[in-house]
Chains A and B, each alone.
Chain A
Amino acid sequence: MKVTDEEPMEQSDSHGEGDEGPTRAKRCKPDGDRILRPVKLSRDDLYKPPTVEELNQLKEAESLFHCNLLKMQMEELLKEVAISEHRKQQIDSFIQSVTELLQKLPQTPHVELSDLSWLTGGVKVPFLLVPKVTKGKFYMAPPTSVTVIGSYPLGTCTKPGISVDVAVTIPAGVLQAKDAVNQSYPRKRALYLAGLAQHLGSSTAIGTMRYSCLHGNRLRPVLLLTPPGSSSFTLRVHVCPPPGYFKPVRLRPDKNNIRTEWYTGLRRPQPDMTEPPTPHYNSSVLGDMLPMAHLQFLKAVSSQCSAFAHGVALLKVWLRQRELDKGAGCFGGFLGSMLLAYLLTSRRVSNHMTPYQLLRNTLHFLASNDLTENGITLAKDPDSTAPSLAEFHNVFQVVFVDPSGHLNMCADMTACTYKQVQHEAALSVQFWDDPTVDGFHALLMTPKPMIRTSDHVFQLCELGKLQATCKNLNLLSELMDRSGNYILTALPFILSLLQRGLGQRIRLLTHSLTPDPEWPVECDAPQHKDQPPVSFGLLLNPDQAATLLERGPPADSSKALEFRQLWGSRSELRRFQDGSITEAVVWEAENTQQKRLILRQIITHLLQLHAGIPESSVRYIAAILDDVIKVGQEECSTGEEESLTVVQSYDDLSRKLWGLEGLPLSITSVQGAHPALRYTQVFPPIPVRLDYTFFDRHPVTRALIPNEDKPCPMYITPIKVICHMEGSGKWPHDKAAIRHIKAAFHITLGQLLAEKYQYTCQPSATHLDVWKDGLVFRIQVAYHREPQILKECLSPEGLLLLRDNEEAQALEMATIHQPVLTSTLHGLQQLHPCFGAVCRLAKRWLGAQLFHDDISEDTADLLVAFIFLQPAPFTPQVCPFTPAEPVLPHTISPRVTPSPPGSSQVGFLRFLRLLSCFDWSNNPLVVNLNNQLTASDYTEIKNDFMASRERLPVMFIATPKDRKLSLWTKQAPSIQILQRIVIVAAQSLKVLEAQLMDPSQMQDVKVIMRPPLDAYDVLIHLNHKQVPTLKQAVDRPRVIYGQGVLRDMAIKTGGALPVIGFNPVTCYLAELRDAFGDLALFFCDPYGGTVIAVLWKPKAFNPVPFKTGQIVARHLGGTGDRTHTVPNVEAILEDFRVMGHGLVKSVEPMTERWVV
């Protein structure tokens, strides 16, 4: 297989569907059409007189949307989610046949409610019969009516997962007025549904039949029907009582309809005690009676507003991308429609708005209104029996009352879910106002699964344990109200407990919505404990999250008791420096990595203490990947401390350089130009002390030299520091002379440093190595006019021209761009403490997947910086000083608190997502470092990019300092490699997310760090002894060789110069690429990789006519052919061995993959 054989970039072509013929035909266009070219309109087209219609259209696009693009994008999106006419016909005919079948339901004799003998055919009742006993009679009878309800008749039904709701009304005779009490009605409803299933089961018009329940509410099972054959829609059969059958007064939220005596089966000890209210049970019964009324109401509203259906569709897409539209207590499409209806009827939006405006206003309303405090109602003039909003607020967390005034449509929603909706809405509104963000894409097209959204995620496994929690927290009456669903019962209490315990450490607590279970009609309803685990997401507050101390109230205050109760034995009295004595909790953490996991300590402690959930059933998902960037073997630090040591040592060196006296010219700047100086080096250099006996010595300078017979010595990274010298007339105006002057500076600097501070220095023509604190700094003197001088050349007319050339570019990169990038990213790290960790994880992954040489360290850091600078649609960073608009003193307070990815894991996931989903061929990636670019700059960059796409690098990254060239990606990656990176990133993301979220998977997340080697043509196995970075391998080696380093010794300054930057593997790779770069690609993991993978270039083996220029490593081809040459593979393989003598263990040609 050659590199080009990879599939082209495609995100979602696995969802092929039948009815999209034209789109598919278009997709088959050749690849060349994938790239945008600047539009060329003829002069006549451009300047012809406009028609009124056209003028209006253009104007509308300008004023309502940011640009045409958004409007058209919306239209396209709506087309995608709309149901085609063909599909509608299928649905209608299926509804027709099901309705007819249902009308023919035979009547059965009356039986006792508990007698299920009439049910045959293996059909089970979709109900958890706890407690078992119920009184009452039951029989099947043909339904009084079968009506289509919900989104389908309203026109708001959208793809994917089309579900059409059908309400089947139970004949009044089957029910009794008292049935609302003690679950009689829900049980009859379930039985009736089972009866329907039994009846439909015999028909051939039905494909599959499964049970499910509405929004996770077990009292409201539904029957899912699909037509025979594969189908993309399902029919949901609901069973309803006749409208108005039960009196709403009896179902008020303060009424009791489940008797304790019946539920527990015990005689009540005090017969005079009042029964607890059962608001959730009541509202679920009420909800069954109202769908027809709701449909009528919505129909009336939507007939007034032409964009209603489209507005709802957009809102549904928005909710769906945020995983808010399904499960128990969800904010589903129905609520969306109702909310829009509320906004329309209360005149907050007008009937003439476009779908886009409707969505925007809805989001704005959500963001600015807190339904947990101030509920809203659709009831215009509710009758006197309807409860007031305050009454609703007493029992429900979120209140949104339906048009009848009796039902709270948000009964099951937790406050946390609403807060999440609110948070998302606020973010979305903000992104839409930001012209630098592609709002459409961020808000409607990007999925936001919890694992990628929340900084930390934890799961409660073994949900059965929550039963004990309910008992612990004394939640019997709530359990009764929720009909025994202990998960939903315990959830609000756990949430409030965590909220109290985590307090300021987090900004948002979210939880996954228990998905609607689905099961075949022949099976019993699944138990609650068989549900998938509940996941909780935490959005951290970076300043507070890692605090060791939880300071409570003073010991004598009234709140002290409360604090002690919350924290239990962990709370202790402490005396602080300011003299106060307060309650406090102190958590243990030694390094940054452990500090990041303090939240885990808190959560497990609280859950154990109050909810009786053992630590073993809490699955905390954060920092699982940190293992691969751990430094050293014994201690488990992840390198933050080490980076800090390096930076401190550098700061010291920089101070000393500034202070040097006796230089002919003064120093104007000292800048770091190395990843270690911005906290992004995967394995930051560790100070070492050397074992001199391990090395040979240089005969003159006494510097250490590796010994041929010993293992390769420890790799000591030279940390690059650029030292600019003052400009002066004394600098020569000639490139060779400048280089000599620089060398002289290196010598002088070295002498001064050695004299004054006793550092061992090693000057050379290009740099000065300083051995300091067990680290090596490589100082490079720079002269700011040198690149300019390199560019100068004389034209024949004697005109001085400036012509860019490679040498000048390389010098500019080293002395200007890299130092600036380093200091900018260093600043970013100060703002976002986990920036470094994300960079390091990302680079470790790139290295492990053998892409290290294609995406340079600087490029990778920039990509990660992009995630931090433009996290949309995820939580953004705030820019207190927007350069575009004047900041008034009182508006400085930020709207949303700062910090994008708050943990390395979520940052890494977003990095993978960025790599795999960004449309590199048509978009520039703009990394707005220091917020220097304005909206107009963005447009300019984009236009420049479009105008000269073909000439620009395939991966285009623009920064404020580099808007047109993409300096960092000029050399690599190539288009083939980029395609491969995209594919590998997508796969890694998929695998990793599955591993993280699914507790049943084997927990080895390192699988994404192990590349498949069977895709390569030749493998060169290296001698482990000579790989200096062996210890950094993803899978730590079993045998570790001595590397000439003394352990546990104090670091001293001075002594012999160590072996600096000596890595046989890099030497070997460089030689291989020099010699065979035209024939093959070479890949290697720089962090402890012991295999070099070789891939022949696709055209390498084509016979080429004999030419003096194209003869590298070739010999005459085939028999008798004396004019063509082919690569001399055997000799090349031999050369691999010869050139890597001492390093190469074996060369393994994977000949099954290729033939010559």
Chain B
Amino acid sequence: MAPSKTKHAEKACVISEGFTVLSLKFKADSDSQHNIFVKEHLVRAGQTPQRPLDTTLFVLNIPPYCSEGTLKEIFSQFGPVKSVELREKPGSFEPSESKLSKYFTPAQKQGFRVGYIVFTNSHSITKAKLHPLNVPLLVSTEQRPVLTGLNKWINQYKQSITEPDKLQKAVDAFMQDYDKEKEQEAERQKEEAEKQQEDEEGWTKVIRGKRGAKARPHTEVANKRVLQKESRKSKELINFYTWQQRNTQKEYIAELRKKFEEDKQRIALLRVQRKFRPY
């Protein structure tokens, strides 16, 4: 099923929703190619500085072996690329937890991804969208080979070996920041507490605290415990009055009946499955 049966061989291939189809080959001598779908980045709300509307190209179906760097190189043929962002699913921009050092960022899924390519110039987008379908983009070339398979895994393994002192440094740096933050937080709380204290004339200034800044032990578990305590009633005789006894008996019979029904159903089911044949 080669995709290039289309008659619009020389022209760019545009499909519904404004996507343009480009083809992508791993190597020049690969037999088959992937289709990738590109379109200018368009969102109704929430334009972010990282994805300017006029210079961002939205790309679908990027094979797992294309990294940010590779894509940057591939798309450089349409004009200078400012940045490349790869994501598992399309969605609004989220800053990656850049604070964390590489040792603490979790590994990403290596599937097909979507990308946001930000060009320097907006006409690069038009250029990219006019790229003909039958001239595939190449992922791995002589000049910039892309590692896959065994070489990639060996490389990964090599990367995974951490140097203890570098790790230590990363930890120290993070903890320093963390401690500083903690200190600031503590100071702020102290200030707030001070503010709420009585002044010389015996007045307390009631101020609206920040949302969610209540004292710590206000938790769901604690709440539940309190509720439970309240609902626990005082001791009561259960089988004292005649009506109580009658009720208990009624409940008992109802319980038996329910069980009986359940068992009947179970048996019926087993019978259907022929679970009673001892042979």
Contact = CB atoms under 8 A, between A and B. Distances in A.
B49 interface: no
B218 A39 contact: no
A936 interface: no
B148 A12 contact: no
B184 to A, nearest CB: 14
B111 A1112 contact: yes
B257 A58 contact: yes
Nearest to B269: A36
B229 interface: no
Looking at B19, B63, B160, the one whose CB has the most chain A CB atoms below 10 A away is: B63
Contact of B265 (A36, A799, A1113): A36
A573 interface: no
A1112 B61 CA distance: 6
Interface residues of B, number: 91
A800 B220 contact: yes
Contacts of B216: 800
Interface stretch (A217-225, A365-373, A714-722, A738-746): A738-746
A765 B103 contact: yes
B60 interface: yes
Interface stretch (A203-211, A462-470, A532-540, A1129-1137): A1129-1137
B95 interface: no
A1077 B111 contact: yes
A732 B168 CA distance: 18
Given A34-B269, A794-B212, A1116-B3, A23 B274 contact: yes
Contact of B1 (A11, A320, A1129): A1129
B164 to A, nearest CB: 5
Contacts of A1142: 149-151
Interface string B145-167: 00011111110111011111001
B5 to A, nearest CB: 6
A689 B109 CA distance: 35
A62 interface: yes
Given A705-B154, A765-B103, A796-B211, A1138 B221 contact: no
B271 A1062 contact: no
Interface string A795-811: 01111111000000000
Contacts of A763: 162, 164, 167
Contacts of B257: 41, 45-46, 58
A1130 B31 contact: yes
Contact of A798 (B214, B259, B272, B275): B214
A250 interface: no
A69 B275 CA distance: 13
A126 B64 CA distance: 78
A705 B104 contact: no
A562 interface: no
Contacts of B32: 1128, 1130-1131, 1133-1134
A46 B272 CA distance: 26
Contacts of A750: 164
A68 B271 contact: no
Nearest to A29: B272
A321 B90 CA distance: 61
Interface string A912-948: 0000000100100000000000000000000000000
A46 B104 contact: no
B157 A1109 contact: no
Nearest to B154: A706
Contacts of A734: 178
B258 interface: yes
A980 to B, nearest CB: 19
Looking at B211, B254, B256, the one whose CB has the most chain A CB atoms below 10 A away is: B256
Given A11-B274, A58-B260, A1106-B16, A1131 B174 contact: no
A1144 interface: yes
Given A1142-B149, A1144-B149, A1122 B178 contact: no
A55 B249 CA distance: 12
Nearest to A13: B274
B205 interface: no
B42 to A, nearest CB: 12
B149 A1141 contact: yes
B175 interface: yes
B135 interface: no
Given A27-B274, A58-B257, A1138-B65, A765 B33 contact: no
Contact of B272 (A26, A67, A765, A1112): A26
A72 B1 CA distance: 60
Interface in A775-801: 794, 796-801
B34 to A, nearest CB: 5
Given A734-B178, A736-B174, A69 B266 contact: yes
Contacts of A394: none
A55 to B, nearest CB: 8
B219 interface: yes
Contacts of A77: 276, 278
Looking at B21, B60, B213, the one whose CB has the most chain A CB atoms below 10 A away is: B60
A39 B89 contact: no
Contacts of B100: 736
Contacts of A1156: 1
Contacts of B264: 68, 72
A1129 B110 CA distance: 19
A179 B264 CA distance: 60
Interface string B178-209: 10001000000000000000000000000000
B52 to A, nearest CB: 20
A55 B214 CA distance: 60
A12 B111 CA distance: 44
Contact of B271 (A15, A76, A705, A1134): A76
Given A36-B269, A1138-B65, A61 B260 contact: yes
Given A67-B263, A698-B161, 6 more contacts: A68-B259, A736-B104, A739-B104, A750-B164, A1112-B111, A1116-B35
* 5 tightest Cβ-Cβ pairs between the two chains A and B: A1141-B149, A1142-B150, A1130-B32, A800-B219, A798-B212
17 contacts: A23-B274, A27-B274, A68-B259, A160-B279, A320-B278, A708-B151, A732-B182, A736-B100, A763-B167, A765-B162, A799-B218, A800-B216, A1059-B157, A1070-B110, A1113-B61, A1114-B61, A1115-B35
